[in-house]
Amino acid sequence: MLNRNRLTDFPVVALFAVALQIPAHASQVVVTVTGSIYSGKDVSGVFGAPNSDLNGSGITVTYTFDESIGNEVTKFCGKSPCGSSLTAFGITSPGSVVIQVNGGSTFFQNFFNIQVARTIAPAIHSLYFHAGDGGYNAATVYVTPAVATTSWTTDYRWQDAFSYSGPFTSQAGFVVYKSSPHQYAFGEFTVGTVSISGALACPAGNFDPPTARGGTPHFYVVKDAICSTSNPTCTPKLVFTALEFFPSDVFREANPANTCDVTDTPLGPVIHYVDPSDLSVTNVTLQGHRLYPGQVIRSVIDVNGTVYIQTTGTGTGPWPWPWANETAAGAYWGSVDALIGAFFQP
């Protein structure tokens, strides 16, 4: 697991801020729950206008869990396994929750309390997910099938891939309370669908063009000059080495990024692909990221003796607006590349 050393305070654009990232090797499990709120209120305008009644609104809750953190227990019914659970209390564990309602969303991470469980026949069919940050922010879902079914699953491990569209008997709710900026909303909802990704293995690196996945695309290219090759310490390979320590933000990694490293950003999980032959690092959003689907390619290029880092961003992720990504990209990536360029100043 990578650690982060903060080198400096540098202005960043809030839209792209990805501080407090917690990288991990690909052991993430993404759980997506959809439903309908039957009792709730958006007091401060977390998802839309303040003091909004959320009754009848659709909701999507996306959990990201790290299966390597916490205590895992297998439940037995006689001699056969019939369930498993993961618990983590009193420790800060990698993960995130994104709650989306009425086109708006909120995010929290650094769980203090995680409980995840699945049971199958001959025990009762059930799924349970809870994540809380030790304060007021929490999202909890408990479901069982409302009718007898043979299509639930025979997989007993909580992290195994799973998908089911009700009807459910469910108890589900959320509370969002943040002091800075102030946010307060709460709700209870019925569950319509549940899906579990399974442990995210590292994809092969064949990136589908995000614009082919529907929605309104964003696209930008930012090119920042790093140094001149008239400086003997300035070569594309040396600049790429520095880039590996700054794959996505203004915080220097203690170790260079590796292919399949997953970083849990405040916007959601991102997986990195490092290509030394092409002098590039590609950051791809995973399900649960607010800008999913999308990717950013960071490449080192030499143009007439000047070494640049070129950043190309594409995607159809809806939050907050495609044009906002394009507007903010130059300032944000410029601040990151300025830190890299500082290493090559005479």
CA–CA separation, 98 vs 106, rounded Å? 6
- 213, pLDDT greater than 90: no
Annotate 45-59 with DSSP letters as a single string.
-SSSSTTEE-TT-EE
Predicted confidence at residue 14, as pLDDT, reads 22
CA–CA separation, 232 vs 345, rounded Å? 11
> What are the residue ranges spanned by the domains of the chain?
24-199, 204-342
pTM score, two decimals?
A: 0.59
pLDDT band for position 246 (50/70/90)? confident
Average pLDDT in the 288-316 region?
88
Each residue's pLDDT tens digit, 35-82: 999 999 999 988 888 999 999 999 999 988 877 777 889 999 988 889
pLDDT band for position 198 (50/70/90)? confident
- For residue 210, the 8-state DSSP code is G
pLDDT band for position 311 (50/70/90)? very high
Residue that has been written with the tokens 């092969």 in this structure: 204
pLDDT band for position 110 (50/70/90)? low
User: In 3-state terms, what secondary structure has residue 109?
Assistant: strand
Predicted confidence at residue 194, as pLDDT, reads 95
Q: What is the mean pLDDT of the chain?
A: 79
Each residue's pLDDT tens digit, 159-186: 888 999 989 999 999 998 876 567 799 9
- 27, pLDDT greater than 90: no
Predicted confidence at residue 308, as pLDDT, reads 98
- State the Cα angle at 97 between 95 and 101, rounded to 5°: 165
What's the start-to-end Cα distance of the chain, in Å?
A: 34
Pick the CATH number of 204-342 from 3.40.50.720, 3.30.530.20, 3.40.50.2020, 3.40.1190.20: 3.30.530.20
- 209, pLDDT greater than 90: no
Predicted confidence at residue 285, as pLDDT, reads 83
Which structure tokens are listed for 324?
A: 């906002």
Q: In this predicted model, which residue has the larger pLDDT, 136 or 181?
A: 136
- 101, pLDDT greater than 80: yes
pLDDT band for position 191 (50/70/90)? very high
- 145, pLDDT greater than 60: yes
User: In 3-state terms, what secondary structure has residue 237?
Assistant: helix
Q: How far is CA 191 from CA 106, 111, 177, 237, 243, in A?
A: 19, 23, 22, 51, 43
Predicted confidence at residue 345, as pLDDT, reads 85
Provide, rounded to the nearest whole percent, the portion of the chain with pLDDT above 90: 37
pLDDT band for position 225 (50/70/90)? very high
Provide, rounded to the nearest whole percent, the portion of the chain with pLDDT above 70: 77
- 9, pLDDT greater than 70: no
Predicted confidence at residue 95, as pLDDT, reads 65
